[in-house]
Structure 1
Amino acid sequence: MKYIVGVDIGTTSTKSIAFDLKGNVITKKNIEYPILNPEPSWSEQEPDEMLSAVVESIKHVVAENDARGNKLIGVSFSSAMHSVIAVDEKGKTLTNCIIWADTRSKEYAEKIKSSELGHEIYMKTGTPIHPMSPLCKLCWMKDNAKDIFEKAYKFISIKEYIFYKFFNEYVVDYSIASATGLFDIYELGWNKKALDLAGISEDKLSRPVSTTEVIKGMRSEYADYMGIDVNTPFILGASDGCLANLGANAIKPGDAAVTIGTSGAIRIISDKPKNDEAERIFSYILTENHYVLGGPVNNGGIIFRWFRDNFSPLEIETAEKIGIDPYELLTTQASKVEPGANGLIFLPYLLGERAPHWDANSKGVFFGVNITHKREHFLRAVLEGVIYGVYDVGRALEETTGSIDTIYATGGFVRSQLWVQMMADVFNKKVVIAESYESSCLGAAVLAMKALGEIEAVEQVEKLVPISKIFMPNRENHERYMKNFEIYRRLYSKLKDEFVNIEMLQK
């Protein structure tokens, strides 16, 4: 049997999944790694630890398929966006991998965002001005890490680092490049005004290529260790968000994909970019004929994990004893509370926020607390707050791109029926879950099938994604949620200045 390995280099782990050519999962391997926070606003990861996770996960799935007599025909990549690593002339890292959650450059982002040049760069690059953006990170580094900045031979993402290690070549796919704030999504090349602002030239960046670019000739030490032929085709692939849409079959007009993993996002696919004059949404590249429009939220499943780790020791202990996931116990508790959490509203901005506010200073807030509220009300409010955040972006997206009819749900949150139903009710739209919710890995595999001539067009993904479950909205719940949401939406504007004030107190 022929198979393709889809590799997803994520924020908290890397997973490699072997798919047959019908999109079925054969084997998979997931390897976790930590996020490092050396300073309060810094979020980094160790590049070689991530490289090891990629190598070991591929090695694992290849060995399992070798034992079954299956034939590997390609390896394709999905990756988290917005990472930056400075490397020297020998490819040695000068920094850790600075990831999307890092907000050290927020003062630079605020200055750029408020300028005419910042708006012009956004309209050309499709990347909102925010500390997540490599553009802002480089501006910070230029002033605050001068020795590293001047010594750096290249500034690259984690996927570029891995491909350099494998092939001794610096290449970046259009999709990852389009999320840097440095890449012109209309001209498919580096944007000179953005580069000038960051203080770099094109030779400090990788060569941009199509997301279906095929590279062969892997370094033998890696190929031998992973048990693959040195000429196995490696496909650059795209970013995790773009591939989540493709892998979920959310590619037709009126379809949207919502992913909630560590963070979250809502996205649609268009045949051309559609930037927002209000700078609320992004326009990233999937292929030269497919653009992914939408907005990310910083605060997804990581908020649920925060509640679990800090307020649920009994549930963790009980779950370990009876052999189930602690999240199952928590969602069961939350399900006993009526929609709307009895008027308790949670702003989930524990990591600041990206879309639609793009405000790194924003903070988490519980609002409306009264004497009747118990722990499970706070838990329910946390889950609802995450969905409100995604819904807030969804409304901005519809204003820019047109109405959404169906949502394809992906990411770890789909394991919770309560959370998915909550999404259907808040959006008042049908929510579909594919049989395999490993959409980013599947999307990478679909790009590989296109690149290798196994399919003619990426739209053929429709045949590879059987539907597992459909959630229909409850209108009564929707009306109840909307009363809370309108307060939720107003709270940010009322508290925006206070977020800045409390941030200053912590310095």
Structure 2
Amino acid sequence: MDYLIGVDVGTTSTKAVLYDQHAQVLDSFKAGYTLYRDASGMAEQDPTAIVTAVKTVIKQAAAAADLSQGKLLAVAFSSANQSVILLDDQHQPLTRSITWADTRARGVAERMRRHLVAKTLFSHTGTPLHPMSPFTKLIWLNENQPALMAKAAYVADIKSYLFWELFHTFKVDISIASCTGLFNLHTSDWDDQALELAGVSAAQLPEIVSGTTQAVGLVPAVADELGIPAATPFVYGAFDGALSNLGVGAIKQDTVAITIGTSAAVRVATDHPVIDPQERLFCYAIDEGFYVVGGPINNGGDVFQWAVEHLVDNSAVAQNGGDAYDLANQVIETAPAGAHGLLFHPFLGGERAPLWDANARGSFFGLTPLHTRADMLRAVMEGINMNIATVFAAVRELVGEPASVTATGGFAQSAVWKQMMADILNVPVNIPASFESGCLGAITMAMKSLGLIDDLSAVTELIGEVESYQPQAAAVATYQEYLPLFKQVEELLSPAYGVIAQLQEKEAPGTH
């Protein structure tokens, strides 16, 4: 038996999945690390801790493979995108990794959206002006830490830094480059205007390579530490969202992929750049002739986690000896679609698509003395799905009516959530049995790189069983009444988000 390892470098943990040569899952391994946050909007990781986690899970996966009877064909990578790490002239970190979730550049983003070049930048890069973008992060660093920026010989993301530590090569795959706000979709290279505004040069940035590019020749000490041959190919892969699309087979324009983990996203693959004239959606290059259009959403499973922690009766959980999430799902099923006229806007962590407003805040609308915990829990789950529906509507408007939706993520363990998504979107929702879509997408790119498959479309043969949920007419009718109101209330509250965010920041506790 030969083996492949898919590695997914996430915001709070890294996972490695061990596959056989037919892309069947054999085992998986996980290592966590801290996401440092504070009231200013800081959200950073220790890059050395991530390198350690990556080495740990690769070593565990390699140890689980019988390399005496087979070969490790490749290790392939999925990773979170839009991180920034300043490096010195020896490629050593001057900063922690500033993650996609960091919102300290929100003032820069607001100012840049009013700048004369804003529309030109978006038309070139396909990246909305938001504090998640490395483009705005770099402007913020130049304005707030100029001495540090002056010391920076190189600007990395977590994947290019990781590959430097493993191979001493400074390269980045095209998909990660495309998410920076510094990459021109039309020239497939760094954008001169964006670089000038961000205060960096192309010489400070990694070389852009295809996602199927192999790095070969591990640093000898690393090869020894991992327990694998130094000649093992490491394939760059792509960012996690793009590989989630690939890993569920959503690689044509008639299939929308929705991922709900801690955050969420709605994406559709295209064979050419599609720029949203209203600037609601991103467009990123994944590889030659392969692009993804969609919207990232801050508020997904983490909002439901908050609701379960605060709205589920702990004494009832203890009495039933069960799980708080199982009880929450049971309680939600006792409330009707529409939660007796209660709406919830899930913007607990600001919002990217569709608002692109880091100051957005959550709210219940329509509360009366008759509402119960069951209504509130259902409204939270509906609110997450209605927010997804607003992004889905923008995607549909831009690229056409989808034949189906394929959805993945932790939410898929909840039957009520899966049916609710089909009802709110009013389209069939397909759920693959395997949740490891990012790692499967990564090893699919590795298989193409190795010549094991001719085309990425071969992934459709590697996906296992799929369950399908059909929209239910009565629930669809209810949600069609509530969705316009959800959007109306969102628009009414939007002008007040900045004010409440400033008041909260003034009163916020320190770092935690």
Aligned residue for 1:342, secondary structure, equals coil
Amino acid at match of 1:394: F
1:153 is matched with: 153
**Which residue, 425, 429, 432 being the options, matches 1:431?**
429
Q: Does 1:141 align with 2:138?
A: no
Partner Cα separation in structure 1 for residue 68 and residue 60 of structure 2:
13
* CA drift at 1:371: 0.7
1:400 is matched with: 398
2:226 is matched with: 226
Partner Cα separation in structure 2 for residue 316 and residue 372 of structure 1:
21
For structure 2, the residue ranges without an aligned partner over 5 or more in a row are 507-512
Partner Cα separation in structure 2 for residue 494 and residue 188 of structure 1:
40
Amino acid at match of 1:444: A
Amino acid at match of 2:5: V
1:121 is matched with: 121
Amino acid at match of 2:161: Y
Partner Cα separation in structure 1 for residue 179 and residue 257 of structure 2:
18
Amino acid at match of 1:75: V
Aligned residue for 2:155, secondary structure, equals strand
Say if 1:102 and 1:243 are closer, same or farther in 2 by CA, change over 3 A: same
2:372 is matched with: 374
Structural mapping, 1:89-238, within 5 Å: 89-238=89-238
2:454 is matched with: 456
1:359 is matched with: 357
Q: When the two structures are aligned, how many residues end up with a matched partner?
A: 505
Partner Cα separation in structure 2 for residue 150 and residue 337 of structure 1:
58
Amino acid at match of 1:492: E
* CA drift at 1:313: 6.7
Say if 1:174 and 1:469 are closer, same or farther in 2 by CA, change over 3 A: same
TM-superposition CA deviations, 1:32-78 (whole Å, max 9, x none): 22321134311111111111111111111111113784421000000
TM-superposition CA deviations, 1:395-422 (whole Å, max 9, x none): 0111111111201111111111111111
1:328 is matched with: 326
Partner Cα separation in structure 1 for residue 163 and residue 380 of structure 2:
39
Deviates more, 1:173-182 or 1:56-65: 56-65
Deviates more, 1:214-223 or 1:449-458: 214-223
Deviates more, 1:57-66 or 1:135-144: 57-66
TM-superposition CA deviations, 1:67-124 (whole Å, max 9, x none): 7844210000001111111111122211111111111001110111122312111111
Q: Does 1:36 align with 2:36?
A: yes
Say if 1:172 and 1:106 are closer, same or farther in 2 by CA, change over 3 A: same
Aligned residue for 1:341, secondary structure, equals coil
The 8 Å contact of residues 248 and 437 in structure 1, kept in 2 or not, is answered as no
The 8 Å contact of residues 135 and 181 in structure 1, kept in 2 or not, is answered as yes
Aligned residue for 2:421, secondary structure, equals helix
Say if 1:345 and 1:222 are closer, same or farther in 2 by CA, change over 3 A: same
Identity %: 40
**Which residue, 343, 346, 349 being the options, matches 1:345?**
343
The 8 Å contact of residues 29 and 61 in structure 1, kept in 2 or not, is answered as yes
The 8 Å contact of residues 170 and 206 in structure 2, kept in 1 or not, is answered as yes
Amino acid at match of 1:80: A
**Which residue, 446, 466, 469 being the options, matches 1:468?**
466
Partner Cα separation in structure 2 for residue 315 and residue 114 of structure 1:
51
Amino acid at match of 1:177: A
TM-superposition CA deviations, 1:142-161 (whole Å, max 9, x none): 01011211111111111111
* CA drift at 1:256: 0.7
* CA drift at 1:361: 1.3
The 8 Å contact of residues 84 and 98 in structure 1, kept in 2 or not, is answered as yes
The 8 Å contact of residues 311 and 377 in structure 2, kept in 1 or not, is answered as no
The 8 Å contact of residues 285 and 291 in structure 1, kept in 2 or not, is answered as yes
RMSD of aligned alpha carbons: 1.6
* CA drift at 1:20: 2.1
Partner Cα separation in structure 2 for residue 480 and residue 169 of structure 1:
55
Amino acid at match of 1:141: L
The 8 Å contact of residues 242 and 285 in structure 1, kept in 2 or not, is answered as no
Partner Cα separation in structure 2 for residue 28 and residue 98 of structure 1:
27
1:26 is matched with: 26
Say if 1:317 and 1:228 are closer, same or farther in 2 by CA, change over 3 A: farther
Partner Cα separation in structure 1 for residue 179 and residue 315 of structure 2:
39
TM-superposition CA deviations, 1:285-331 (whole Å, max 9, x none): 22111101111110011111222334447179639x94x54322221
Say if 1:221 and 1:117 are closer, same or farther in 2 by CA, change over 3 A: same
The 8 Å contact of residues 317 and 323 in structure 2, kept in 1 or not, is answered as no
2:510 is matched with: none
Say if 1:333 and 1:2 are closer, same or farther in 2 by CA, change over 3 A: same
The 8 Å contact of residues 77 and 442 in structure 2, kept in 1 or not, is answered as yes
Amino acid at match of 1:157: D
For structure 1, the residue ranges without an aligned partner over 5 or more in a row are none
1:292 is matched with: 292
Say if 1:111 and 1:221 are closer, same or farther in 2 by CA, change over 3 A: same
* CA drift at 1:253: 2.9
Q: So what's the TM-score if we normalise by structure 2?
A: 0.96
Partner Cα separation in structure 2 for residue 70 and residue 261 of structure 1:
34
* CA drift at 1:343: 1.0
Deviates more, 1:84-93 or 1:294-303: 84-93
Aligned residue for 1:346, secondary structure, equals strand
Aligned residue for 1:343, secondary structure, equals coil
Partner Cα separation in structure 2 for residue 226 and residue 156 of structure 1:
24
The 8 Å contact of residues 315 and 326 in structure 1, kept in 2 or not, is answered as no
Partner Cα separation in structure 2 for residue 79 and residue 316 of structure 1:
39
Aligned residue for 2:369, secondary structure, equals coil
2:281 is matched with: 281
Q: Does 1:268 align with 2:268?
A: yes
